[in-house]
C-alpha cells in the first residue's frame, strides 16, 4: 500500500486533545459494570482496584460485550480479591469457561492469591503491578491510571487506532507501538489520567472505529491529521496476516444411559490448560492427531456424529466427533459428568461444540421448573 499524501495538519495541539477528550467523556462515556462514571468520581466515589483489575484481565483479547456477563457473575460469586483467593482453581476455571485464553484464569487465581497474601491490597504503581502474575505493561498501566489515578500511558488497540490517526503514524503495527506509546505519554494529563485513558478507549470503540469512523462526531477532529489528509481508514497500518494452519483430530463423546458424559482434565500448563474436555486424539498447534475411531479411549461402537471447527489465535482446528453409549466405569484419568452438571463444567468452547455435535443442547444450562 502506498503511503498517504503529506498531511496538512502534522502537529496537533497536545493540551487541547486531552481537554477535549475529557469534556467529551463527561457526556458520552460508556456505562460499564466495572466503571465509576465521572459524576460519581466527582462526588468522591473511588474505583475498586479489584474490579478494575478483574475487568482488565477479562478484556484482554475479548470484547466488552462478551465480558459483561462474566464480570457480573464473578463479582457476585467473589466480591473481593480475598474471596477469589479462597476459591478453588477448579471453580475459577468453571466460571471462566467460554471466555477463552485460559491462561488468564490461571494467572487470575495466582494473582488473587499473591495480593491476598500481601494483605488484600493491590499495589498502586506500574512497576509493582507488573510483578504480579498475569499483569503485563498494558494491564499495569490501566490499573494504575483507572484505579489509582496515576498518570500512566494506557495503550490498547482502540488507543493505537486513535493515535495513529491523530498523528498520521504510518509505521506498521506492531513496530509502531513504541511511537504510539511515546505520543500517549506526552498527552496524559496530570489531572484525571484515569478518565483520559477511558475516554481514549471509548473514542476508539464508539467513534474512531476501524471502518467508517464517525469523524464529524469526534471531539478532536480539528486536531486529526488523518482527517485533514482525507484518509482516516488508512491507519493504523498493518502487515498482511499470514493464513492460519489447519490442524485436524478427533473427539470422542461417550454417553452413559443416565445422560452423563465422559470427561477428563487437561494438563494445567499449555493450550486450554486446566480445562475439562472429552477425550480427543493428540492434536496440537503444530501437529495433527488421528481422525478415526482407532484412537478412542476404549473399544466400543463409535459412530460418527459430525465435524466441528474452531479457530484459535495461531491455528484453526477441525475435529471429527464420534459418539458411543456405555455404562462401563470411567477409564483412569477420566470422570463422568451428569446431565445436570455438564453445563457447569470448565469446558472450553471447542469442547462444547464437540459435545453439542453428539448431544444437541447438552451443554446448555437447564432451567428448573417452578412448582
Residues labelled as active-site residues: 56
Q: Report CA 326 to chain centroid distance, whole Å.
A: 38
Cis before 236? omega within 30? yes
C-alpha distances out from residue 231 to 5, 21, 176, 234, Å: 9, 21, 18, 6
Between the CA atoms of 189, 193, 199 and 205, what dihedral angle is there, to the nearest 10 degrees?
110
What does the alpha-carbon distance between residue 271 and residue 293 come to, in Å, rounded to a whole number?
23
Sequence-ordered list of residues with C-beta below 8 angstroms from that of 34, at least 6 positions apart, any chain: 51, 52, 54, 55, 71
Q: Where are the alpha helices (DSSP H) in the chain?
A: 14-28, 38-42, 49-59, 64-77, 81-86, 89-96, 103-117, 126-130, 137-148, 157-166, 177-187, 193-206, 225-229, 349-358
Cis before 174? omega within 30? yes
Neighbours of 129 (CB within 10 A): 26
C-alpha distances out from residue 167 to 212, 226, 235, Å: 18, 7, 10
Angle made by CA atoms 235, 237, 243, in degrees to the nearest 5: 130
Please state whether beta strands 316-325 and 334-337 pair in parallel, antiparallel, or not at all (unpaired): unpaired
Please state whether beta strands 261-265 and 334-337 pair in parallel, antiparallel, or not at all (unpaired): antiparallel
The candidate with the shortest Cα–Cα distance to 262, out of 320, 310, 331, 321, is: 331
Amino acid at each position: 500500500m502506498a503511503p498517504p499524501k503529506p498531511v496538512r495538519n502534522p502537529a496537533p495541539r497536545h493540551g487541547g486533545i486531552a481537554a477535549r477528550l475529557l469534556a467529551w467523556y463527561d457526556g458520552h462515556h460508556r456505562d460499564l459494570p466495572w466503571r465509576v462514571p465521572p459524576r460519581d468520581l466527582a462526588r468522591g466515589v473511588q474505583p475498586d482496584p479489584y474490579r478494575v483489575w478483574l475487568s482488565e484481565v477479562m478484556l484482554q483479547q475479548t470484547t466488552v460485550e462478551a465480558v459483561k456477563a462474566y464480570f457480573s457473575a464473578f463479582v457476585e460469586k467473589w466480591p473481593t480479591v480475598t474471596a477469589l483467593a479462597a476459591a478453588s482453581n477448579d471453580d475459577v476455571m468453571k466460571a471462566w469457561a467460554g471466555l477463552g485464553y485460559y491462561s488468564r484464569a490461571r494467572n487470575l487465581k495466582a494473582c488473587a492469591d499473591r495480593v491476598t497474601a500481601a494483605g488484600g491490597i493491590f499495589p498502586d504503581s506500574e512497576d509493582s503491578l507488573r510483578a504480579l502474575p498475569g499483569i503485563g505493561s498494558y494491564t499495569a498501566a490501566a490499573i494504575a491510571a483507572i484505579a489509582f489515578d496515576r498518570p500512566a500511558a494506557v495503550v490498547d488497540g482502540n488507543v493505537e487506532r486513535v493515535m495513529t490517526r491523530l498523528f498520521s503514524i504510518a509505521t506498521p503495527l506492531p513496530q509502531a507501538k513504541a511511537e504510539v506509546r511515546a505520543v500517549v505519554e506526552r498527552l496524559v494529563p496530570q489531572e484525571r489520567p484515569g478518565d483520559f485513558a477511558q475516554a481514549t478507549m471509548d473514542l476508539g470503540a464508539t467513534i474512531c472505529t476501524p471502518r467508517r469512523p464517525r469523524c464529524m462526531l469526534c471531539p478532536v477532529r480539528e486536531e486529526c491529521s488523518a482527517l485533514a489528509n482525507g484518509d482516516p481508514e488508512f491507519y493504523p497500518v498493518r502487515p498482511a496476516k499470514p493464513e492460519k494452519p489447519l490442524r485436524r483430530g478427533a473427539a470422542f463423546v461417550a454417553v452413559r444411559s443416565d445422560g452423563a458424559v465422559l470427561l477428563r482434565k487437561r494438563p494445567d500448563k499449555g493450550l486450554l490448560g486446566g480445562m475439562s474436555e472429552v477425550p480427543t486424539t493428540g492434536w496440537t498447534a503444530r501437529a495433527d492427531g488421528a481422525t478415526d475411531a482407532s484412537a478412542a479411549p476404549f473399544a466400543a461402537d463409535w459412530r460418527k456424529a459430525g465435524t466441528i471447527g474452531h479457530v484459535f489465535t495461531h491455528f484453526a482446528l477441525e475435529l471429527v466427533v464420534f459418539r458411543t453409549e456405555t455404562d462401563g466405569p470411567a477409564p483412569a484419568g477420566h470422570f463422568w459428568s451428569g446431565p445436570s452438571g455438564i453445563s457447569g463444567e470448565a469446558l472450553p468452547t471447542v469442547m462444547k461444540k464437540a459435545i453439542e455435535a453428539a448431544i444437541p443442547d447438552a451443554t446448555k444450562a437447564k432451567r428448573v421448573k417452578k412448582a
